[in-house]
Amino acid sequence: MQTRPNQTYQAVVAAPGFCLGVQCNDDEITGIDFLEPRPEVAATTPLAAEAVRQLKAYIADPGFAFGLPLRPAGTAFQRRVWEQISAIPTGQTHTYGDVAKRLKNAPRAVGQACGSNPYPLVVPCHRVVATGGGLGGFARERGGFLLDVKRWLLQHEGSGAASAG
C-alpha cells in the first residue's frame, strides 16, 4: 500500500485527490499503490484494463464488489488480518482492537498487517480505525497525504469515522 516513487505500473487511475498505480502480470494483480495526483496511464495489459474498470466502478459507486485475481502475498497472520478486513461491509468500520480480538492478537500487529496490505481498496484496510473514533494510521503513515486518502475513502463510503482525525 505504500507509495513507491520509481515503480512501473501497468496502469494509473485518477481518483479525487490521488491516483492508484496498478501492477500486474498476465494472470494476477501483484500490487496497487496510492500515488500523489498525476496523469493517468492507459492499461498496458488486459488484466490491467479490467483492474482500471473495477477501480473506476468503485470510485463511482463505493458499493461495487471487486473481483480481481490477486497474487497470494503476505505472511499467514497478514492473510488472516486481510481476510477479516475484507469482511467489513462498505460504510462500516472496525477498530484495530476489534480485529485483534477476533484474531487473538495485538492491535499493533493488526495495524502493521494493514500497513503491509498490497491491495488497498480491494482489501479495504481503510475501514480499520483507531479506538475512540480517530482514523489511526494508513499505509504506515500517521498523517499527510495518505491519511487524507483514508479520510476521503471513508467519506466516499458514508462511514461516520471519516470526520475523525
Q: Cβ neighbours of residue 6 under 8 Å, at least 6 residues apart?
A: none
Q: For 111, how many CA atoms within 13 A lie in the half-sphere containing its CB? A: 16
Q: How many CB atoms lie within 10 A of CB 62?
A: 18
Q: How far is CA 12 from CA 1, 38, 41, 85, 155, in A?
A: 14, 8, 5, 25, 22
For residue 35, the cross-strand partners are 19
Catalytic residue, chosen from 19, 24, 114, 125, is 125
Identify the DSSP state of 4.
-
**Is 114 assigned a catalytic role?**
no
Longest dimension (CA), the chain: 43
- Residues annotated as part of the active site: 125
